[in-house]
Structure 1
Amino acid sequence: MPKAKKHIVIDARIRRSSTGRPVARLLEHLQEIDTDHRYTILLEREDTWLPKAKNFSAVRTRFPNFSFNPLNQVLYAKQLYGLKADLVYFTLSPQQPLLYYKKFATLTHDLVMLQFARAGKLPEWVHAVRMRGYRLLLWDAHRRAKHVVVPTQYVADAVNKYHLFTNRKTTVMHEASEPPLSGKAIAPADFPQNFIMYTGSAFPHKNLERLVTAFGLLREQHPNLKLILVGKREWHSKKLEKWIRKNSPYFEDVVFTGFIPDEELKWYYEHARAYVFASLNEGFGLPGLEAMVHGCPVVSSNASCLPEVNGDAALYFNPEDVHEMAAKIDEVISSEPLRKKLIAKGYENTKRFSFRKFATQHVQMFKDLLGE
């Protein structure tokens, strides 16, 4: 009789979120390269993902990613025990229930919730209680995990800084950018002629208020310039819009696109004078790579992991200095030779990262943890 395949459960409940995009690609590549293990993928009830490989199956769960509810903790642990896994891989620390004691590994994307803990809209006391609970779960995840995966050395160092256990069982596995958007780029109905852009959320650590302030300084030299903010409209972006209307004389030239189709996003990348990433803290900083893969020059914050990921393919600024930010953006949008140099370096930089390598590293980790 052939030897039974070891059973790996991957908690992929975050697959459909922006944070979960690397997880979605991990599942795609694992199906292509690993036939030696049996996989069960745990998904949200609403997720319609279906496996293509015969050694993969999908199971839905009704439990949320983070829950301090004791009943949810007990019932989710019971569901995990029922799957009889040889190894569970949680793709968002701290997903693991406190009562799950069998072998598991975990992926920590970033520590933004610890480093920018007041990013939400909850009352102060509620937020303080939640943060205590979050830190307890994160500490517990790192304490009990057989291995911790992080996307950059910056996050590995932050794990040590916050005393979430040593790096003796931590491995850096770089994520990657998506391939260039396919299809023909389509201009939006009312497209700008001269603009810089940003894509993503408007959470406080994204530092968009300072970006808008720097944009205001740029307008003195570039009176027709616009700032395009691409991203789903939600509470933080609406709050930012109110702030701009109150504090910037150029609020009409800051454009919130909301969600846009890929064809329009591709057009923005291809026609922007620069992509500006002003973030104060990232775990990997994927947006810069996505701009690079579309041939858009990147002007970036020098904070957190961004120099590690963007290498010499971006022009950097101190994200807390709006004058320096404006000067570096001006340097790029005013010099076609510099733009072309950054575009060429950007294409080269993206070649350092591969989701196939990301998946291959995971398979090796699984084998090591399973004693194979």
Structure 2
Amino acid sequence: MDKKIYVYDPTIADEMSRVRGVGRYLKLLRSSFKNELVFTNKIDEIPKESYLINPFFNFFTSPLLSKKVFAKQIAVIHDVIPLKYRSHFPVGIKGYFKYLKNKKALANYDLVITDSETSKDDVIKYLKIDEQTIKVVYPSLTNNFLKKNPRKPNFVDEKSIYLLYVGDATWNKNLVNLAKAIKSTGLTAVFVGKVFQSFERLKHPWQKELRSFFEIVKGDKNFIFPGFVSDNELLWLYKNAVCNVLVSFDEGFGFSYLESSSQKTPSVLSDIPVFREIAQDNAVFTICEDITDIAKKIDNFFKDRALRDTMGEESYERSRFFSQSAFKKNFLSAVNS
């Protein structure tokens, strides 16, 4: 690398962002590039002849860069879901003007990195960016995560039988249909994520789906909400779950598929382009609008141990494609292209 490469890291000053998507991606960057990248939250102190990576280009906050400042400016856009489904992600007047400022600011970036070919197509369609300036770099799990020792959380026992959901709770996650499907089976489900810790104070318009979800599951003991769990506990939950479930309307990648597959736990995924790209045929697919089909596909894993074992092994083999070494190689290649 001829130029020094800096990464803007908001988690240095914002502790809460460490448990969001940006925190996970920054962990991956830090783990992969211990010596090659410099992480900072002080933009003004970066030499102008350097490269700068914005690892979480956010359209609804004030632009990180409004003009061309550094030798090369690289934006990581994980997905454009709020732009695709605006009625489900209202931003108000202030948010809209910030979006316009960020869209204008994006013209000052030399390169966009995104998580999948599906996301690349969306970036081209909704942001009108030249295809030649977009590179796909598949994320991976960190080797440190995979080396951790699984530890049983206190809220389950060794013989617990459950399905697992790990992630956020915005509209695209399809939680209402998932809740209805699970209730129809009578199975136990564990929902991991800080967003599930509180049934109250859900006033943000992007939490409408979550409010509806909580109304459906309220008082149902088959739904377990531990909130945030440690990596060691998460590994145990994946390893011992009957299946992982992610029946989203849309995604940029789908990390829980990769995490569960690394522990040989199979997944029920919605039949959408990005999951066909990431999982190929190594998952059970369902129709995200069909509650009966979602329930059936989940129930099949509980009833058929052979199916569970076979699909777990196949998904594990697929997960090895998304190695950290491949991520490191492809990310550096993109940055220096």
Q: Calculate the TM-score normalised by the size of structure 2.
A: 0.83
Question: What is aligned with 1:42?
Answer: 40
Q: Does 1:268 align with 2:237?
A: yes
SS at match of 2:285: strand
Contact conserved, 1:26 with 1:358, CA < 8 A, in 2? no
Q: Does 1:232 align with 2:194?
A: yes
Across the aligned residues of Structure 1 and Structure 2, the Cα RMSD in angstroms comes to 2.8
Partner of residue 194 from structure 1, selected from 161, 177, 186 = 161
Partner of residue 20 from structure 2, selected from 18, 22, 38 = 18
Question: What is aligned with 1:31?
Answer: 34
Note closer, same or farther for the CA distance 1:237–1:354 as it changes in structure 2 (3 Å cut).
farther
Question: What is aligned with 1:136?
Answer: 100
Contact conserved, 1:300 with 1:317, CA < 8 A, in 2? yes
Question: What is aligned with 2:261?
Answer: 292
Alignment of 1:314-329 (within 5 A): 314-329=283-298
Partner of residue 226 from structure 2, selected from 252, 257, 267 = 257
Tell me the number of residue pairs that the alignment of Structure 1 and Structure 2 aligns: 316
Deviation at 1:137, TM superposition (A): 3.9
Q: Does 1:182 align with 2:151?
A: no
Question: What is aligned with 2:206?
Answer: none
Structure 1 letter corresponding to 2:258: L
Question: What is aligned with 1:214?
Answer: 181
Contact conserved, 1:298 with 1:315, CA < 8 A, in 2? yes
Q: Distance in 2 between matches of 1:334 and 1:250?
A: 26
Q: Residues 93-126 of structure 1: CA distance to partner in whole angstroms, max 9, x if unpaired?
A: 2453213444311111111221344566xxx6xx
Deviation at 1:244, TM superposition (A): 5.0
Question: What is aligned with 1:73?
Answer: none
- Quick check: which one's helix share is greater? 2
SS at match of 2:124: helix
Unaligned runs of 5+ in 2: 12-16, 203-208
Q: Distance in 1 between matches of 2:114 and 2:210?
A: 33
Q: Residues 164-216 of structure 1: CA distance to partner in whole angstroms, max 9, x if unpaired?
A: 31211111111112443622432524537321110122222211111110012
Note closer, same or farther for the CA distance 1:285–1:141 as it changes in structure 2 (3 Å cut).
farther
Q: Please, which moves more after superposition, 265-274 or 348-357?
A: 265-274
SS at match of 1:251: coil
Q: Distance in 2 between matches of 1:142 and 1:7?
A: 22
Q: Does 1:90 align with 2:92?
A: no
Contact conserved, 1:217 with 1:326, CA < 8 A, in 2? yes
Contact conserved, 2:152 with 2:233, CA < 8 A, in 1? yes
Q: Please, which moves more after superposition, 302-311 or 169-178?
A: 302-311
Q: Calculate the TM-score normalised by the size of structure 1.
A: 0.76
Structure 2 letter corresponding to 1:207: N
Contact conserved, 1:142 with 1:164, CA < 8 A, in 2? no
Q: Residues 232-281 of structure 1: CA distance to partner in whole angstroms, max 9, x if unpaired?
A: 14688655776456435872211111122334323322221111112222
